């Protein structure tokens, strides 16, 4: 299947509201079990993106950054820092900042989140490893660090 181009953009407020409502509903209905649902939905998203031709094996960090920033428009920048035990993603000026802010205000965990699980799954798929979320560090209103352990 070939990549489909989207001529119109979707408003980030709408997408933030969508992600917020999904996460809130998961929290209200399933509670902590929502982590499994988040992982599973990321797996299905990865599968669809592969089928559409957006993902390939062994993508470089630069290709992952380009996909996340320029193709999907999920932030204005992305830094990937790694060593043999950890991977840190610096999400710079996320476009779904309303979604993230609302979850933080309500102290809710993002079970279904394009930043966390999508990034970890794309990175893991490209680098032949699995990542486990270790920490989310809001550095400022313009940057969030997502810290993962390699497992």
CA-to-CA distance for 54 and 36, rounded, in angstroms? Answer: 24
In CATH, the architecture of 12-150 is 2-Layer Sandwich (3.30)
Q: Which tens digits make up the pLDDT trace of 118-144?
A: 888 889 888 889 999 888 888 887 888
In sequence order, which ranges of the chain are alpha helices (DSSP H)?
Answer: 12-29, 34-51, 61-66, 97-105, 119-127
Determine phi and psi for 136, rounding to 5 degrees. -120, 120
User: Does pTM top 0.95 for this prediction?
Assistant: no
Residue 22 φ then ψ, to 5°: -65, -45
| Residue 92 DSSP label | E
pLDDT of 107 > 80? The answer is yes
Residue-wise pLDDT tens digits, 10-68: 788 998 899 899 989 998 999 888 888 887 888 898 899 999 999 888 899 999 999 99
- Kindly list the domain boundaries of the chain, sorted by start residue: 12-150
């Amino acid at each position: 299947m070939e990549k489909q181009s989207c001529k119109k953009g979707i408003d980030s407020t709408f997408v933030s509201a969508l992600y917020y409502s999904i996460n809130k509903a998961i929290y209200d209905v399933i509670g902590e079990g929502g982590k499994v649902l988040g992982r599973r939905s990321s797996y299905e998203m990865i599968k669809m993106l592969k089928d559409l031709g957006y993902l390939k094996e062994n993508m470089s960090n630069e290709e992952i950054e380009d996909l996340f920033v320029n193709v999907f428009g999920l932030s204005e920048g992305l830094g990937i820092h790694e060593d043999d035990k950890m991977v840190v993603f610096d999400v710079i000026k996320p476009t779904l900042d309303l979604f993230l802010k609302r979850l933080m205000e309500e102290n809710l965990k993002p079970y279904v989140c394009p930043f966390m699980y999508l990034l970890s799954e794309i990175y893991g798929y490209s680098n032949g490893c699995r990542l486990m979320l270790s920490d989310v560090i809001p550095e400022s209103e313009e940057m969030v660090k997502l810290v993962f352990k390699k497992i």
